[in-house]
Amino acid sequence: MKLLFFIGSMRGGGAERVMAVLTDELAKRGHDVTLVVMSSYPSFYKLNKDIKLIQFNDRVNNRFFGKIKYKLKSYIFIRQNIKKLNPDVVISFMLSLNAMVLISSIFLKEPIIVSEHSTFDIKLPLKKRFQRFYLNKLADRVTVLTFHDYNFIGTRLKNKIVMPNPLSFVPLAKYNEDRKKNIIAAGSIDRFHGKGFDSLIKIWGKIANKYPEWKLLIAGGGNDENIRKLRELANEYNVNSQFELLGQVKNLDERFRESSIFVLSSRYEGFGMVLIEAMSQGCACISFDCTAGPREIINNNVDGILVEDQNMDAMTLALSDLIENEDKRERLATEAIKSVDRFSVKNIADKWERLFADLVEIKP
| pLDDT tens digits, one per residue of 259-309 | 999 999 999 888 889 999 999 999 999 999 998 889 999 999 999 999 999
Tally of CA atoms within 13 A in the half-sphere of 241 that contains its CB: 6
The answer on 188 and 162 residing in a single domain is no
Structural domain contains residue 6: yes
Residue 60 has pLDDT above 90, yes or no: no
- Phi, psi of 112, deg, nearest 5: -115, 125
Q: Residue 363's pLDDT band (boundaries 50, 70, 90)?
A: low
Find the helix packing angle between 224-236 and 197-207, rounded to 10°: 20
- Helices marked H in 29-171 — which ranges? 64-85, 95-104, 126-133, 147-153
The answer on 195 and 107 residing in a single domain is no
The answer on 221 and 138 residing in a single domain is no
Strand order in the sheet with 32-37: 52-55, 32-37, 2-7, 89-93, 112-115, 141-144, 160-162
Residue 188's domain comprises 182-342
The answer on 8 and 115 residing in a single domain is yes
Structural domain contains residue 240: yes
The answer on 119 and 49 residing in a single domain is yes
pTM of the model: 0.87
H/E run at residue 307: strand 305-307
Structural domain contains residue 194: yes
Number of domains in the chain: 2
Structural domain contains residue 173: no
The answer on 188 and 93 residing in a single domain is no
Structural domain contains residue 201: yes
The answer on 338 and 192 residing in a single domain is yes
- Phi, psi of 115, deg, nearest 5: -110, 115
Residues 6+ apart with CB under 8 A from 325: none
Structural domain contains residue 302: yes
- The closest of 314, 276, 77 to 171, measured between CA atoms, is 276
Average pLDDT over residues 159-187: 94
- The closest of 202, 249, 194, 193 to 221, measured between CA atoms, is 249
The answer on 336 and 198 residing in a single domain is yes
- Phi, psi of 60, deg, nearest 5: -70, 140
Q: Please provide the average confidence, as pLDDT, over all residues in the chain.
A: 94
The answer on 331 and 256 residing in a single domain is yes
Strand order in the sheet with 284-288: 243-247, 215-219, 182-186, 261-264, 284-288, 305-307
The answer on 267 and 124 residing in a single domain is no
Give pLDDT, residue 168: 87
The answer on 348 and 288 residing in a single domain is no
Residue 54 has pLDDT above 70, yes or no: yes
Q: What are the tens digits of pLDDT across the range 83-139?
A: 999 999 999 999 889 999 999 999 999 999 999 988 898 888 999 999 999 999 999
Structural domain contains residue 174: no
Distance CA 232, CA 235 (A): 5
The number of angstroms, rounded, from the C-alpha of 293 to the middle of its chain's C-alpha atoms is 11
The answer on 139 and 20 residing in a single domain is yes
Give the CATH number, domain containing residue 349.
3.40.50.2000
Strands 215-219 and 182-186: parallel
